[in-house]
Homo-oligomer: A and B are copies of this chain.
Amino acid sequence: EKVAAMLAKKKLLGELGIEKPGKFVLKCPKGTRDYGAKAMAVRESVLKIMTDTFKKHGAETIETPVFELRDVLLGKYGEEGGKLVYDLQDQGGELLSMRYDLTVPFARYLAMNKVAAMKRYHIARVYRRDQPVMTRGRYREFYQCDFDIAGKYDSMIPEAECLKILDEVLSTLNLGQYVIKLNHRLMLDGMFAVIGADDSQFKSVCASVDKLDKEPWEKVEEELIKERGLSPDAAERLGSFVRFRELNPDLDNVAVLDQMMQIPELAANAKFKQGVEEIKLLLTYCESFGVSNAVRVEPSLARGLDYYTGAIYEAVIPNGLEGVKDEEGQPVGVGSVAGGGRYDGLVGMFAPKASVPCCGLSFGIERLFAIIEAKNAAEQTAVRTSTTQVLVASAQKNLLAHRMRIVGDLWSWGVHAEMTYKANPKLLNQLQYAEERLIPFVLIVGEQELKEGVVKLRTTETREEKNVKLDELKSTLAQMLAL
């Protein structure tokens, strides 16, 4: 009974985040994780695809501080987002908060440095005091990977490049079929105006509509009426608009837009009309750029953030990866993996005189990591965590100086090489190290071989061995490793 009471108390203290005083628990802060060498190798392979693509499109990169003056972030994320910002303790001096995304710091950067035009990418961690769901890649400290085009340009050309980049990255990642949903803030504004919803309802109605890819219309309709305050008529009307694509599955992108424009009230709404015209222009640009047919006009796409002013888009992998399940047995890969849109007003919030129109996109890297890690696990893909090409080993004792001299030569030739840090390691342990670490070659230094002026070269995979003359080692390795 005493034990049960103690356990209950311990559980309570644990839930409250209170540890027994003096007891030191070794852990990462809640909602954060370490990236070990394997996770880093996966991460680097994903990020390389993104940075290579951004660079191919001529982007520069910048870096901003991990925290900002609290006033810079204040009010930019809406009420809900604001609650999730990490504040630093007031230790005298300025009041600081951790960045919540990379978009607001980018806008601050443009405004502060009076930059009128820039195409930049930024890959860095952001911070949200949200409820973490670590098995699904939802953390309090997580990577964002953003690409944005700032500057006064002609309509829809930057947006077209954003969609092209989304398309290139997703096709290179090779995670199965993806869809890039496309909508326009002005089309949403127009639809909402036609059904009589006012501006104050915009965000909450968007939040309900946005659930349409996960929930049936009936449930969304109920929410719109009971929680968002729409009349049954208005809700039904809104349904006929936002479900236009779903209800007319045979129409192509242009036909969806044209037929919605056949609805007199929508056609009469100036905002809706402008939105449609811009999206049609964007579609022709996508064709010129050679964007794949993954792009789909989707009137129900309603990304939550208030700051979007034009085209909005979101990339979705609709089906789970075949045969790949997460730790809870759920299919992996479902859902949104990237998104973005135009936000013309944000820089103006910092520098009203020098407003800089922007559009951009952001990849949900943590989710992509989670998908790829699950895929690697399912396919039992071996992940190399180092780039070592050659392990320099010894067959007998007292050969340390020889090993050191040879590995030193290898480094000076640019070969990625290692040796174990033991003076007299066992050969078996050294060969095992090479096999575990997937090091492709082992150079074995032996007494007899040294006398003959040779060294043994072993191929880890085939276990084949052959002698190489020491004075031909450089040219042999150069050829083998394509140095």
Contact = CB atoms under 8 A, between A and B. Distances in A.
Contact of A91 (B87, B285, B386, B421): B87
A411 B89 CA distance: 48
Interface residues of A, number: 95
A60 B411 contact: no
Given A26-B350, A28-B65, A88-B87, A58 B417 contact: yes
B66 A418 contact: no
A86 B94 CA distance: 12
A350 B88 CA distance: 26
A94 B15 CA distance: 11
B112 A26 contact: yes
Interface in A349-399: 350-351, 385-388
Contact of A66 (B113, B141, B157): B141
A164 B416 contact: no
A290 B405 contact: yes
Given A17-B93, A89-B90, A91-B87, A411 B58 contact: no
A37 B60 CA distance: 6
Given A29-B94, A153-B421, A35 B58 contact: no
A57 interface: yes
Given A62-B40, A88-B87, A129-B91, A29 B289 contact: no
B421 A149 contact: yes
A41 B33 CA distance: 29
Given A27-B112, A290-B405, A60 B40 contact: yes
A404 B164 CA distance: 11
B411 A67 contact: no
B89 A88 contact: yes
A228 interface: no
Nearest to A168: B411
A339 interface: no
A27 B87 contact: no
Given A157-B421, A401-B288, A408-B289, A62 B91 contact: no
A32 interface: yes
A177 interface: no
A160 interface: yes
A285 B408 CA distance: 11
Interface of A: 17, 24-30, 32-37, 40-41, 43-44, 55-69, 71-72, 86-94, 96, 98, 108-109, 111-113, 118, 120, 125, 129, 141, 149, 151, 153-154, 157-158, 160-161, 164, 168, 284-285, 288-290, 350-351, 385-388, 400-401, 404-405, 407-409, 411-412, 414-418, 420-423
Give 6 closest A-B pairs by Cβ, nearest first: A153-B421, A288-B404, A37-B60, A58-B418, A32-B65, A290-B408
